[in-house]
Amino acid sequence: MFNGIEIIENANLKEFCTFHIGGRGSVLFPKDIFELKRVIRECERLNLRYFILGNGSNLLFPDYDLDMILISLKYFNQIKMMSKGVVYAEAGVPLFTLNIFLKNHCLGGFEWSFGIPASVGGMVFMNAGAFSHSAMENVVKVKILKNGKVQIVKREDIDFSYRKSNIDGIILGVFLKFFEKDIDVIAKQQQFFLEERKKSQPFDKFSAGSIFKRENDFIPAKAIDLCGLKGLQIGGAEISKKHAGFIINNGDAKQIDVLALIKYIEIKLQRKMVLEIIVIS
């Protein structure tokens, strides 16, 4: 049914997420918008569940074989200079690649994202952020695929909130605005933010970033730390000793281990937590 389109059947899903957790599944790699449209049409015609896969930096896959088609946008990886200070980046561009491009073109205003293991599409859809910045600051407009048609959605028509957007459709690419800046200053600031991440986050461990969203004045990591839960382990999953907002995979963690830790945290805090990660089932 997907003749001519690159596919990995029975793929090890651990290789498609930064948590390094998961069973097996089918991953498709459309090379352009025409192949992507075809894949979506076939999935809908055959009533197959599908999920658009970026860099997998906030995903928790199940331990069993996944009854869902994963559609990777890794070939949607072009970056183009548009008008002055505006860059068009396709959804599959890694943030690291975009940051290097911006540095080489002396464009600043995105250094805060250096070191986030996400793709452009995922970053904008989830309104990723750090150090009091978020993706919404840079967005001009978004190109999406919706109901089989390519559409452009302007920034003013998108409702961004904390780690969330209301973008309705598959993000194909994003027009982002930046400003002129000295290349050496950009390089220093990128390195600064990277080092800050390494100091405060378990950078050398498999994880999906922050597990829980902040809610008003409630800071999950602080509350978890105050309960003395750092280092708590269930199976191969552990609440990071370095940052209580992270659950890390010590090498053999399963989805069930992570979910058990989340449930334990909720019981201890006597609070239903809002997840920042996406749990696939």
Q: Would you state the pLDDT for residue 82? A: 96
**144: pLDDT strictly greater than 90:** yes
Q: Would you state the pLDDT for residue 254? A: 98
**Taking all residues of the chain, what is their mean pLDDT, rounded to a whole number?**
96
Domain boundaries, the chain: 6-72, 79-185, 203-279
Question: What does residue 179 show for φ and ψ, rounded to 5 degrees?
Answer: -135, 160
**1: pLDDT strictly greater than 90:** no
6-72: in CATH 3.30.43.10: yes
Q: Would you state the pLDDT for residue 267? A: 97
**43: pLDDT strictly greater than 90:** yes
For residue range 231-278, what is the model confidence (pLDDT) as tens digits? 999 999 999 999 999 999 998 999 999 999 999 999 999 999 999 999
Average pLDDT for 158-175? 96
Q: Would you state the pLDDT for residue 253? A: 97
Tell me the β-bridge partners of 8: 27
Domain spanning 79-185: which CATH class is it, in words? alpha beta
For residue range 189-247, what is the model confidence (pLDDT) as tens digits? 999 999 999 999 999 999 999 999 999 899 999 999 999 999 999 999 999 999 999 99
Q: With cut-offs at 50, 70 and 90, classify the pLDDT of residue 84.
A: confident
For residue range 49-83, what is the model confidence (pLDDT) as tens digits? 999 999 999 999 999 999 999 999 999 999 999 98
Q: Would you state the pLDDT for residue 25? A: 97
At 225, list the tokens.
Answer: 């730390």
> What is the C-alpha separation between 11 and 56, in angstroms, rounded?
14
The domain defined by 203-279 folds into: 3.90.78
> What is the C-alpha separation between 91 and 89, in angstroms, rounded?
7
